[in-house]
Copies of this chain bind each other. A is one copy, B any other.
Amino acid sequence: MSSSASASSAGDEANDPSSRVVTLEPESGLSMECGARPARIQVAYQTYGSLNADRSNAVLICHALTGDQHVANPHPITRKTGWWEVMVGPGRPIDTNRFFVICSNVLGGCMGTTGPASFNAATGRPFGLEMPVVTIKDMVKVQALLVDHLGIERLFCVAGGSMGGMQVLQWAALFPKRVFSALPIATAARHSSQNIAFHEVGRQAVMADPNWRGGKYYEAGVRPEKGLAVARMAAHITYMSDDSLHRKFGRKLQGRESPTFSFDADFQIESYLRHQGSTFVERFDANSYLYVTRAMDYFDLAADYGGVLANAFRQSKSRFCVVSFTSDWLFPTTESRAIVHALNASGASVSFVEIDTNKGHDAFLLDLPELLATTHGFIEAAASACGIPGAP
């Protein structure tokens, strides 16, 4: 793990990330779903803990839409703690004293793995929309190349929430022998119509910003910050629940006794959302937002297997633990149940936990005792079955 002394910006991290970097050059290029075959992919990644002698203790964490590789270290731009420190670290459910944890920025991202903000040596400028459209399968193929590079044949566990969970499912389907255990949280085997709709709103908000300039804003020294902030605000609502918004904000006014009868942020929820929008644009690239949302839209795991999701898992020997949250309306429990039914139909080993919480989709990121206990129990049992020694 590396970190720079001074805070950097989204653009800096895309090309000069505060992470380990490897340039992968697979034979005959990376075969992407869209048909492109780039010869060279840069991957930025973080690792925590040590790989054991028989290389059996590696855990791959897959990050969500706006996540990154900084799972358990301060973020190089925001300086905030890692996004999954409740889950990953010494003594945490994914214990870095025992496991070698890997997390890489996804293909299409903006934190150092090749994405639209990356410098394209062929043209001498950032890719922008010349970057081929990325899918979840493409992301997973790149992760597999990284895992190869690290000399790891089989991952002890692949874990992630939301889009991270999509990658977990894709890993189990694409590399059934390389995944000992799989932990998909708050996710789905295909993106729903409503979720595509919310993504499309976000993309249209970005593209409506005149600073977007058809994706060529890097050269112009501007960024479609207003459009991206609107996209983030809309998305952020979907990460919470009606109930949690009601409890957290209700109709409370922001620093005033009575309404101003204006378009100021009278209500706390407005002020909160505006803050979410304005801080997000500091750390995220607008074109990456287009690419990564699009990857989620295209995700439909069953489609590759004759439309039968169970067929995706026929070769799998993985142990699965599927987790959903009662108040998650973006990836509701029905989606997790469909995954569990398919796993059962394929004869896989699967446990399923629906956690009762009012925190909505973002619950997977929070310090939720039931989630941590579920993960701990699943990891312990899998480690025992895999012959990995207990906590020191």
Interface, chain A (partner B; CB < 8 A): 33-35, 129, 132-133, 135, 190-194, 196-198, 200-201, 203-205, 207-210, 226-227, 229-230, 233-234, 237, 240, 242, 245-246, 248-251, 259, 261-263, 265-267, 269-270, 273-274, 277, 290, 294, 297-298, 300, 329, 332
Is chain A's interface secondary structure helix, strand, loop, or mixed overall? Answer: helix
Given the complex, which residues of B lie within 8 Å of A259, measured CB to CB? 298
Contact residue among B35, B129, B204, B267 (Cβ-Cβ distance under 8 Å from A233): B204
Asked if residues B234 and A194 are in contact (CB atoms below 8 Å), the reply is no
Q: Closest CB-CB distance, A350 to chain B, in whole Å?
A: 24
**Cα–Cα distance between A201 and B242 once the two chains are bound (Å):** 16
**15 A-B pairs in the complex with CB atoms less than 8 angstroms apart:** A133-B263, A192-B245, A192-B246, A193-B267, A194-B240, A196-B269, A197-B233, A197-B237, A198-B237, A200-B233, A201-B230, A201-B233, A207-B263, A208-B227, A267-B297
Contact residue among B35, B207, B210, B250 (Cβ-Cβ distance under 8 Å from A261): B35
Which chain B residue shows the least CB distance to A293?
A: B263
Number of copies: 2
Which chain B residue shows the least CB distance to A332?
A: B242
Contact residue among B201, B230, B245 (Cβ-Cβ distance under 8 Å from A273): B201
Q: Which 3 A-B pairs have the closest CB atoms?
A: A34-B261, A208-B226, A193-B245
**Cα–Cα distance between A211 and B112 once the two chains are bound (Å):** 35
Asked if residues A133 and B190 are in contact (CB atoms below 8 Å), the reply is no
Contact residue among B196, B205, B267, B294 (Cβ-Cβ distance under 8 Å from A205): B205
**Cα–Cα distance between A196 and B263 once the two chains are bound (Å):** 12
Given the complex, which residues of B lie within 8 Å of A190, measured CB to CB? 251
Which chain B residue shows the least CB distance to A236?
A: B197
Asked if residues B193 and A251 are in contact (CB atoms below 8 Å), the reply is yes
Given the complex, which residues of B lie within 8 Å of A270, measured CB to CB? 196-197, 200
Q: Closest CB-CB distance, A186 to chain B, in whole Å?
A: 15
Max chain B Cβ within 10 angstroms of own Cβ: one of A198, A263, A273: A263
Given the complex, which residues of B lie within 8 Å of A133, measured CB to CB? 261-263
Which chain B residue shows the least CB distance to A243?
A: B194
Max chain B Cβ within 10 angstroms of own Cβ: one of A132, A209, A230, A237: A230
**Cα–Cα distance between A263 and B250 once the two chains are bound (Å):** 37
Asked if residues B193 and A246 are in contact (CB atoms below 8 Å), the reply is yes
Given the complex, which residues of B lie within 8 Å of A233, measured CB to CB? 197, 200-201, 204
Q: Closest CB-CB distance, A257 to chain B, in whole Å?
A: 13
Q: Closest CB-CB distance, A193 to chain B, in whole Å?
A: 4
Q: Closest CB-CB distance, A372 to chain B, in whole Å?
A: 27
Given the complex, which residues of B lie within 8 Å of A332, measured CB to CB? 242
**Cα–Cα distance between A374 and B279 once the two chains are bound (Å):** 49
Q: Closest CB-CB distance, A213 to chain B, in whole Å?
A: 13
Which chain B residue shows the least CB distance to A252?
A: B193
Asked if residues A251 and B33 are in contact (CB atoms below 8 Å), the reply is no
Given the complex, which residues of B lie within 8 Å of A273, measured CB to CB? 197, 200-201
Asked if residues B329 and A251 are in contact (CB atoms below 8 Å), the reply is no
Q: Closest CB-CB distance, A270 to chain B, in whole Å?
A: 5
**Cα–Cα distance between A191 and B250 once the two chains are bound (Å):** 9
Given the complex, which residues of B lie within 8 Å of A248, measured CB to CB? 193
Asked if residues B209 and A269 are in contact (CB atoms below 8 Å), the reply is no
Max chain B Cβ within 10 angstroms of own Cβ: one of A34, A226, A234: A234
Q: Closest CB-CB distance, A239 to chain B, in whole Å?
A: 11
Given the complex, which residues of B lie within 8 Å of A277, measured CB to CB? 204
Asked if residues A200 and B132 are in contact (CB atoms below 8 Å), the reply is no
